[in-house]
Structure 1
Amino acid sequence: MSLTSNRTKHRVKPPRKGLQGDAGGFEQMWPELRDAFGEVHKKCASKLSYEQLYRKGYTLVLKKMGIQLYDGIKESESVWLKAEVLGEIRAVLAAGQFQTSSGRSENEQRIYGEEFLRIMKNTYNDYMTSMSMIADVLMYLDRVFCKDHRCPTVFSMAMGLFRKIVLEESAYPNDPVNVLRHLTDIILFQIQLERSGEIIDKSLIRQCVYMLEGLYVTDQEREEDRLYVNAFEPHFLDTSREFYKSEAERMLFESDAGAYCRIVRKRINEEQDRCRSTLSDLTTEKIVRVVENELIKNQIGNIIASPSGVRHMIDNDLFDELELIYELESRIDKRKGELKKALQKKIVEAGMEVNNAAIAASQASAAPAQAGEGGESSSRAPAEKSGSNQTVAALTWVDDVLKLKDKYDLIWQRSFDQDQDLQTALTRSFSDFINSATFPRGSEYISLFIDENMKKGIKGKSEAEIDQLLDKAITLLRYVLDKDMFERYYKKHLCRRLLMNKSVSNDVEKQMISRMKIELGNSFTVKLEAMFKDMTISEELTSGYKNFIHNMGATDPTRVDLSISVLTSMTWPLESMGGAIENSDSGGRSKCKFPPTIERVRQNFERFYSEKHSGRQLTWLSNMGTADIKAIFPKVQTKEGYKERKHELNVSTYAMVVLLLFNDLPADQRLSFETIHAETNIPKADLVRTLQSLAVSPKTRILVKEPMSRDVKPTDHFCFNEGFKSPFVKVKVGVVMAGNKVENERERRETEQKNEASRGFVIEAAIVRIMKQRKELSHQQLIAEVLSQMAAQFKPEVAMIKKRVESLIEREYLERLDGQDLPAYRYLA
């Protein structure tokens, strides 16, 4: 007889007629079948006839004896399993070939365990092979009787008996622990050895797992009823959970954070490989989740906060270890909550250190100026030095912030896979410390940074480097919440650059404004663009005026050349430029009195301008102009003999007016401070600074002051310094309108006050726009919409919004609605 163990399906055909063996009933045929099946189990089936055995089974089913045949098989298999299979397993256990007592070494336990697994594997494989052959013989019983009576097939019934009689029976008589639990414990012990670094027989365990996967806890053989899933896997996951819980505590004590993360990744990979090679793919996700929960989820906060955690990694540029932290937390939290929290705290702390360093440097720089506040003129030198030092502190602050930004950008790119959630957290952290209540200078410092680069920083840089610089400026601007305060400072600094011709490139200036427009909208840049438009028109006016003078036929060699800047009063922040706007009205301050030559030039330009723009009024800002004067000093003896000294003096307009007073005076004649003031009408504060630059500064002492001191007082007298010497032909005298610098506290308060007043108008405009569109609105809705509209410019206080609402009600733009449960308003057309 040729019987195979393959469970292939065959088409059932009735036996051929005329064959022997179909006579008799169940009592005659069953013993023959039972004995034959016994021979199959004993591996002595080579002499049996498949066709004769099949015919007997077929005949019994045909004669309606299927129930007796099915029960007989069940009984005979039960006897075989108890006597032969279970008996062999118990004999092995009883003989002491497997023992897990503490008296045995791990190696001995491993050997005994492998022996037991080998017996279980062989026993199960032999029984499954035998039952496959028997099931083939009884195929007709399966196809007819089992199907009609909805009972398990012969093979399934036998596998159920194997589970009940072999696996679920006690390992020893009266032993509460069954064979299955022994099997489970041995497999778990082998796995524990492998986790400890020992080498085990993976294929042997895999064969036993196949057995558990092929058996079911019920006869229905549903997928979820596999013995592996219900009996082995829960114990495996429970012991693994305890193992990794202990390992987490041990690793936290013994390892640093980086080593801990590397071990965790290694453990996850090991468990995945173990499921592929030793256990079952069904367990992969479950065991990985156990490892993640015990080693990552329950410990990630401790790992990140440890002395070798995220702070240490950031400080020492440990990008790979930061990547491990990111990778591990991503497994258990898609939002990376703990890592995000640690990063934000670290950035804000580092940023506050930068802020505090800038504040300390600014205060140290301000001390000399405060010490010299005895008088306006006496405090000018320390004040200028203080302003310069504070400006350096401001630029240092921006450089430090950009370095911090570059550092975390690099970490974000190399370690955090450019995660957008973390990018948002980084942006929020930078915004937090830049807009800190203890550091109100962010907007001013960023504007000064742009100012410095527009004047010097971009010189000699390539186009790519300039683009990178502009990108950094825009990045810093994104962090600023009070965009309106930045706009105020930027306009002020741009104003000085344009009027003093300090910009390296107008094209780069316009690029910067274009980027601001993209980032913040057209309303933010409209006045900045208008300033450039004014400068372009001014160049055209200057050129047109020169042609106008040329057409007049003026050929006077002493004629004064004029370059003019005509500025739109509502566009330029002229109030922040120093000095006073001069008005000719009786209620205002008197205009500066120009010498006749200059006055004639002024009148000519006004006539030229009025012809082009009738009805427009020009207000002259003498405090903001400059002049180039050719000065000839008396002859002095040199190596070549007596020689006149000629210098070209670059001075402010005020200084030009003062110097021209001495043009026709005898050398020994002096002018008092009061006389100069009366002759020029220059505001006294500006006149003091002008005379100090001309008579006190050692390198530009064109006038002599009596008595000589650093202070300029109303009782002082001045005369022309015939002995002035300079190694340079061109001499630049410090002008009143100095370069951009950090505001002092007084200037800062003034700027904030002006900005607050401006915000009031902006808020009112927003309220009117909203109410005009909505007609009626509740108080809370109105507040929410105003806050939403203002978010791009600044974050207004709710109290300020309420105040502006009250003002609009008083001026009858709005009215309160009566009879409403909640406060509400109506727009009045």
Structure 2
Amino acid sequence: MYPKPGRQGKIRPPRRGLNGGDESFESTWGTISSAIRQIHTKNASDLSYEALYRHTYRVILKKKGEQLYQSVLQFEKDWLCNEVKTKAAQLVSSSLVADLQAGSANTTANERRVGGEKFLKGIREEWQDYQLCMSMLTDVLMYMKERVYCADHRQPSIYTTSLMLFRDNILRSPPNPNHSDLTVQDLLNRIILDQIQMERNGDVIDKHLIKSCVYMLESLYETMKEDLNQRLYVTAFEQHFLDASRDFYRTEGDTLLRESDAGAYCRHTSRRLREEVDRCRSTLSETTKSKIERVVEEELIENKIHDLIESESGVKFMVDNERIEELGLIYDLNARVDPKKAELVRAIQNRVVEMGNEINQATTSAASAPPQPAENGEDGEKGKKAVADKAVNQQTVAAIKWVEAVLALKDKFDLIWKRAFDSDQAMQTALTRSFTEFINSSAFPRSSEYISLFIDENMKKGIKGKTESEVDVVLEKAITLLRYIADKDLFERYYKKHLCKRLLMAKSLSNDVEQQMISRMKIELGNNFTSKLEAMFKDMTISEELTSGFKVYVANLGDPDPRRIELTVNVLTSMTWPLESMGSGSNEDLDGKRTKCIFPPAIDRIKKSFELFYGEKHSGRQLSWLANMGSADIRATFPKVPTKEGVKERKHELNVSTYAMVILLLFNDLAEDEGLTFEEIQAKTNIPSHDLIRNLQSLAVAPKTRILIKTPMSKDVKPSDQFLFNPGFVGKFHKLKVGVVTAGNKVEGDKERKETEKKNNDSRGFCIEAAIVRIMKQRKELTHQNLVAETLSILANQFKPDVNMIKKRIESLIEREYLERIEDASPPAYRYLA
């Protein structure tokens, strides 16, 4: 009968006056002990639990509860030692012990598995039988449990104490005298561990059987307190399991490193981790999961990760062969044992730098390799010039290829970062640091120039035919490379130079794209970086307005000359444009003296007319004409020649440089067979020698534009050479462009580069001084060390200042009385002078 819902059932004692009141304890105990034996022998079907309960009650009423408690425990101890232990001994054979002690040397895995399972089943059955008997006995002694030892005497229950007896008399005792050095617990541990090792080696074991034995160990405690950390599973088995697993995985790790590749090692380790997690769930205890994971991580990952990464099939091989999946595995493994992934980060950084340095070295070799000999085996000045031209082109091509190779490397590692490294922030930082390192390597000082050349090439040709999104990709790649450059001031110098040529020679395909690029630079580097670039575009816009205004001005003058020359002018602010780096050296001759081109009268008149117009708008401003940067469209008429349609004159529209126009106009006043020497042309035009040579080569040597005849005919130009008008010139098209030899943007030579670096260092000096004055004006007094540190910090976004340069600039400021040394200061310090 069950109690009503909501009401707690109570155990009520039998009514007083029951028969047998004078019965002795021995007689009652005889009845109870006989019943306990029947319970143990599975012969309890005829027992009356009510009668047994009354016997227990009478004993307690007679104050014999303690005697009954001790008698029951003694009975259980005797039963365990005489009955259960005997059965346990029968489970242990000499061969079983020998096999466990000798390992797998003398028997097969199957033989050990069968023998071990027999022992485990026997122990499980004895445990489960004993546990069931104790549950039944607890029911028989229920009154004793509730009224005596739980409440009054604070003693553990018969059930709890009996399980401790099983622990001490079965598990912790030798199974038989022949094996006194082994306890049943030892055998149990060894068999379970042996079964687990078999499973690790690929055999099938009875997981449920082992789990039931684990339940037994989890049900027993070291003390009566029943603390989870005092479970026999934890104190007597778990550490043995972890130690054996550590030995197993240490050996396995060494073997795998020797015999398999890194990818297979990673896959095997991941599988082992999954297996151990599953084993804790299905065979052992969930509480062991984190501990065994840590063992596997230490032995297969933490202690092996360095050797794994550095192995022949490690990270270097994976990166080179784009083994994305395997890189992802090694990333996951490293992340398990080290949140910073230090070993993998180091390996990836090293590989990026190695591959980057290989690109640098290949580019240096390609740029410095001797060019092919001049055609037709020519030697002398002619051959040297041809070889020099090829060398320039070779270096420029190498520069573009360097940028493309670096971008390809960036794309490669971006893919690895996204797909293998899960877009990890630490890995991204490492990649950025690596690219910055090799791009700014002291052994490769050309990166700023090469990146600017790459942008220049794309602005002139690369974006042609591309969609807006494709153009965005090109711009973003350029900005990405720009982020890596340490000396951004040097990049700015080159970019201004290349932009200058694109704008003045109308080489840029799209002003909108140019403006987009500058906008991106402004976001990335700030207004100071782009202010002069924006000013260059502003000058171009103002120049268009001036040209339109000049046309109106000329029209208002009412000049009746129908052949009047049309003039388009670019008025450039001298402090904004890098005019000194244009062309072959602006308007300076080989001796460094500045020269002024002598224009033909017709050109000089229109030139002076514009000066008058500009002076009316901007009084006080002085214009300097830079003929080496201009171009002209002229019409040329050649003598009549017979054609299929009769005798006809040949007319061409020629697009030439300003210098070429000046040269050609000299021949208008000469007879057909009259010519001019190089020296005569130079005397009449005052064109610098280097520019004159280049333009004469374009007009008299280039096969498709030989408007002049050179005598003697050769590719080089000498002072004694004579030039005549070519009446037999035939052009394929009505409009012809006469290009100037090597007039485009190209890699600087050593001399040009030294000059650029000198100017850049001078500019840096001013920046350093400005930063020092700004700091000292705010701080008033500062130690030398702190002043240097703050200066480095302020200028870090522009360039990496040299400490020696900072020291020199401090000395210069002291000499000019901006600063003074504080006497007897330790450490050395400075004071700002207002």
- What TM-score does the superposition give when structure 2 sets the normalisation length? 0.93
1:132 aligns with 2:151: no
CA distance in structure 1 between the aligned counterparts of 2:833 and 2:224, rounded to whole angstroms: 83
Is the contact made by 1:686 and 1:736 (CA closer than 8 Å) also made in structure 2? no
What stretches of structure 2 of length at least 5 have no aligned partner? 2-7
1:276 alignment partner in structure 2 = 281
Map of 1:350-429 to 2, 5 A cutoff?
Answer: 350-364=355-369, 379-429=384-434
2:525 alignment partner in structure 1 = 520
Is the contact made by 1:30 and 1:69 (CA closer than 8 Å) also made in structure 2? yes
Please report how far the alpha carbon of residue 23 of structure 1 lies from its aligned counterpart in structure 2 after TM superposition: 4.5
CA distance in structure 2 between the aligned counterparts of 1:265 and 1:535, rounded to whole angstroms: 64
1:328 alignment partner in structure 2 = 333
1:827 aligns with 2:832: yes
1:49 alignment partner in structure 2 = 48
User: Residue deviations 1:347-389, cap 9 Å, x none?
Assistant: 22211111111111101256869x99976x8754433332222
CA distance in structure 2 between the aligned counterparts of 1:640 and 1:215, rounded to whole angstroms: 119
Which segment is superposed worse, 21-30 or 632-641?
A: 21-30
Please report how far the alpha carbon of residue 159 of structure 1 lies from its aligned counterpart in structure 2 after TM superposition: 0.9
1:6 alignment partner in structure 2 = none
Please report how far the alpha carbon of residue 549 of structure 1 lies from its aligned counterpart in structure 2 after TM superposition: 1.0
- Secondary structure in 2 matching 1:149: coil
1:500 aligns with 2:524: no
1:105 aligns with 2:104: no
CA distance in structure 2 between the aligned counterparts of 1:334 and 1:155, rounded to whole angstroms: 49
- Secondary structure in 1 matching 2:486: coil
CA distance in structure 2 between the aligned counterparts of 1:372 and 1:793, rounded to whole angstroms: 48
1:34 alignment partner in structure 2 = 33
1:806 aligns with 2:819: no
Match of 1:232 among 233, 237, 240: 237
- Alpha-carbon RMSD: 2.4
Please report how far the alpha carbon of residue 643 of structure 1 lies from its aligned counterpart in structure 2 after TM superposition: 2.0
CA distance in structure 2 between the aligned counterparts of 1:383 and 1:60, rounded to whole angstroms: 121
CA distance in structure 2 between the aligned counterparts of 1:794 and 1:25, rounded to whole angstroms: 105
Amino acid in structure 2 at the alignment position of 1:127 = Y
Match of 2:167 among 163, 166, 170: 163
Is the contact made by 1:98 and 1:112 (CA closer than 8 Å) also made in structure 2? no
CA distance in structure 2 between the aligned counterparts of 1:765 and 1:33, rounded to whole angstroms: 105
Please report how far the alpha carbon of residue 12 of structure 1 lies from its aligned counterpart in structure 2 after TM superposition: 3.8
Q: Indicate how the Cα distance of structure 1 residues 373 and 600 shifts in structure 2: closer, same or farther if over 3 A, else same.
A: farther
CA distance in structure 2 between the aligned counterparts of 1:757 and 1:97, rounded to whole angstroms: 89
User: Residue deviations 1:376-433, cap 9 Å, x none?
Assistant: x875443333222211111111111111111111122221211121121122222221
1:782 alignment partner in structure 2 = 787
Please report how far the alpha carbon of residue 638 of structure 1 lies from its aligned counterpart in structure 2 after TM superposition: 2.7
Please report how far the alpha carbon of residue 447 of structure 1 lies from its aligned counterpart in structure 2 after TM superposition: 1.0
1:676 alignment partner in structure 2 = 681
CA distance in structure 2 between the aligned counterparts of 1:569 and 1:372, rounded to whole angstroms: 43
Is the contact made by 1:624 and 1:737 (CA closer than 8 Å) also made in structure 2? no
User: Residue deviations 1:560-604, cap 9 Å, x none?
Assistant: 001111111111111110255559xxx973422222211111111
User: Residue deviations 1:156-196, cap 9 Å, x none?
Assistant: 11111110111111122261111110111111111111112
Is the contact made by 2:134 and 2:162 (CA closer than 8 Å) also made in structure 1? yes
Is the contact made by 1:368 and 1:386 (CA closer than 8 Å) also made in structure 2? no
Please report how far the alpha carbon of residue 276 of structure 1 lies from its aligned counterpart in structure 2 after TM superposition: 0.7
2:778 alignment partner in structure 1 = 773
Which segment is superposed worse, 809-818 or 118-127?
A: 809-818
1:15 alignment partner in structure 2 = 14
Identity %: 60
2:580 alignment partner in structure 1 = 575
Which segment is superposed worse, 817-826 or 179-188?
A: 817-826
CA distance in structure 2 between the aligned counterparts of 1:346 and 1:364, rounded to whole angstroms: 26
Please report how far the alpha carbon of residue 81 of structure 1 lies from its aligned counterpart in structure 2 after TM superposition: 0.9
Amino acid in structure 1 at the alignment position of 2:813 = L
Is the contact made by 1:513 and 1:528 (CA closer than 8 Å) also made in structure 2? yes
- Secondary structure in 1 matching 2:668: coil
2:821 alignment partner in structure 1 = 816
What stretches of structure 1 of length at least 5 have no aligned partner? 3-8
Is the contact made by 2:372 and 2:387 (CA closer than 8 Å) also made in structure 1? no
Is the contact made by 1:630 and 1:647 (CA closer than 8 Å) also made in structure 2? yes
2:4 alignment partner in structure 1 = none
Please report how far the alpha carbon of residue 759 of structure 1 lies from its aligned counterpart in structure 2 after TM superposition: 0.9
Is the contact made by 2:641 and 2:649 (CA closer than 8 Å) also made in structure 1? yes
2:144 alignment partner in structure 1 = 141
CA distance in structure 2 between the aligned counterparts of 1:108 and 1:190, rounded to whole angstroms: 11
Is the contact made by 2:698 and 2:739 (CA closer than 8 Å) also made in structure 1? yes
CA distance in structure 1 between the aligned counterparts of 2:655 and 2:367, rounded to whole angstroms: 32
Which segment is superposed worse, 223-232 or 84-93?
A: 84-93
Q: Indicate how the Cα distance of structure 1 residues 300 and 10 shifts in structure 2: closer, same or farther if over 3 A, else same.
A: farther
2:68 alignment partner in structure 1 = 69
- Secondary structure in 2 matching 1:317: coil
1:697 alignment partner in structure 2 = 702
CA distance in structure 2 between the aligned counterparts of 1:724 and 1:781, rounded to whole angstroms: 72
Map of 1:407-806 to 2, 5 A cutoff?
Answer: 407-579=412-584, 581=586, 589-735=594-740, 738-806=743-811
- Secondary structure in 1 matching 2:575: coil
Q: Indicate how the Cα distance of structure 1 residues 562 and 737 shifts in structure 2: closer, same or farther if over 3 A, else same.
A: farther
1:172 aligns with 2:176: yes
Q: Indicate how the Cα distance of structure 1 residues 311 and 10 shifts in structure 2: closer, same or farther if over 3 A, else same.
A: farther
Is the contact made by 2:697 and 2:741 (CA closer than 8 Å) also made in structure 1? no
Please report how far the alpha carbon of residue 208 of structure 1 lies from its aligned counterpart in structure 2 after TM superposition: 0.5
CA distance in structure 2 between the aligned counterparts of 1:778 and 1:660, rounded to whole angstroms: 67
User: Residue deviations 1:711-740, cap 9 Å, x none?
Assistant: 433344433232333222222223377111
Q: Indicate how the Cα distance of structure 1 residues 429 and 372 shifts in structure 2: closer, same or farther if over 3 A, else same.
A: farther
Which segment is superposed worse, 37-46 or 294-303?
A: 37-46
CA distance in structure 2 between the aligned counterparts of 1:661 and 1:52, rounded to whole angstroms: 143
Is the contact made by 1:623 and 1:736 (CA closer than 8 Å) also made in structure 2? no
CA distance in structure 1 between the aligned counterparts of 2:616 and 2:61, rounded to whole angstroms: 127
Amino acid in structure 1 at the alignment position of 2:417 = W
Amino acid in structure 1 at the alignment position of 2:32 = L
User: Residue deviations 1:789-826, cap 9 Å, x none?
Assistant: 12111111111111111111111111112232211112
Amino acid in structure 1 at the alignment position of 2:48 = S
2:5 alignment partner in structure 1 = none
